[in-house]
Structure 1
Amino acid sequence: MAKQHSGPRGSRRIYVPASTGMLRGLADSGELKPAGPVHTVTASLRREYPDVDVEDLEYTAFADAGLASLPLLVGHLPRRVVISADVPDERVTEHGEGTGADFDGSVKLKRVAAIHVDDADAAVEIAEALGDPEAADLDAVEAHVLDWYAPTELQDLLATLNAGTA
């Protein structure tokens, strides 16, 4: 079985649904308090898909975080944001099913492994989904791949998003 991504021993990778406003807060304060559940590879997910590679399970948790970011975008730039971070395992409490988990505390910038943000092309589908959630075409939203940014690129990413060129 492949090893799950992790940082130091006793940590696990979580995927935090976020907005561009939350990214600004992370840049300003050096930490981010999740607005709700985070997503991770849970024991429930492993039981449900015992023969699936861990990278595919991680993608499932990541994709769930991307969808969970949609309600956070109201009043913000219509781009999904997911922050991948390696946090102490004892601060994560898994939900009974799926990829959801509660995280106790704030994610420190030094624990962020990557920042993922939709590109400008996704904004149309996301704006439509936010405008009418009942008629939202989530397949169209999910068809967009979130771009990857290193934590060291956070200030440049925010500047580009503010300029409307990303």
Structure 2
Amino acid sequence: MRIYLPLTATDRASLELASTRLELPAGRAAWAVTASAERDFPGEDLEDLEYEALQDAVHVAYGAGSSTQRAMVIALDVPDAAIGDAADGGAFGVLLGTPASARIASFHVTELDAAAAEDDDTDPALLWFDLVEAREALAYLDGAEAAG
């Protein structure tokens, strides 16, 4: 199952080592399109639901950092059996029910910092980075300009 995970300091340390996987503990919050979420939005396209799950994770990532920082969300793949129900987290919130070795799929970094995004009434715009672009994604997160 594809999950969306706001970046933590521990995640960052793994990414700086050019890891292609993250070791995630049981109880870690994430956002995903579960069968339950699909039932809650009948007729919605899976891609649209994934966008909404990603945006939920972005808002949580913004809340975890300073107002002058961009936010990063990591898209990862985990076994379906690792996903458990979450008491909160909105329609797409999940918890890892068991520890999981998650394969990194991509990185998504906001164009705006948290303060600027709060002033904007649209969903935060994201730059997409491939797995092999972890260093570039982290540099952009830290304020560097994205390569054209």
Q: Same fold (TM over 0.5)?
A: yes
Larger radius of gyration: 1
Normalization by structure 2: what TM-score? 0.76
Unaligned segments of structure 2, at least 5 residues:
none
| SS of residue paired to 2:94 | strand
Structure 1: 5+ residue stretches without partners:
1-11, 130-135
Percent identity at matched positions? 31
Question: 2:71 aligned with 1:74, yes or no?
Answer: no
Cα distance, 1:17 vs structure 2: 1.4
Q: When the two structures are aligned, how many residues end up with a matched partner? A: 139
8 Å Cα contact 2:71/2:141 also seen in 1 = no
Matched, 1:26 2:14: yes
Measured against aligned partners, the alpha-carbon deviations of 1:23-73 in whole angstroms (never above 9, x if no partner) come to 531324533547941000023321221111111111111111111112221
Give the distance between the partners of 2:70 and 2:100, measured in 1 at CA. Answer: 22
Residue in 2 aligned with 1:60? 52
C-alpha deviation, 1:79, in angstroms: 0.8
Supply the distance in 2 between the matched residues of 1:51 and 1:66 (Cα, whole angstroms): 24
Q: Note the 1:5-154 alignment, pairs <5 A.
A: 12-18=1-7, 21=9, 24-28=12-16, 30=19, 31=22, 33=24, 36-74=28-66, 78-95=69-86, 98-103=91-96, 104-105=98-99, 107-108=101-102, 111-119=103-111, 122-123=112-113, 126-127=114-115, 136-137=118-119, 140=120, 142-154=122-134
Q: TM-score, normalised by structure 1?
A: 0.69
Query: Residue deviations 1:85-107, cap 9 Å, x none?
Result: 11111111133661000123355
| Greater strand proportion | 2
Whether contact under 8 Å (2:107, 2:130) holds in the other structure is yes
The answer to which structure has the higher helix fraction is 1
The one-letter code matched in structure 2 to 1:101 is V
- Deviation readout 1:100-137 (Å, 9 max, x if unpaired): 001233554xx111100012xx12xx1367xxxxxx54
Contact 1:18-1:72 at 8 Å conserved across structures: no
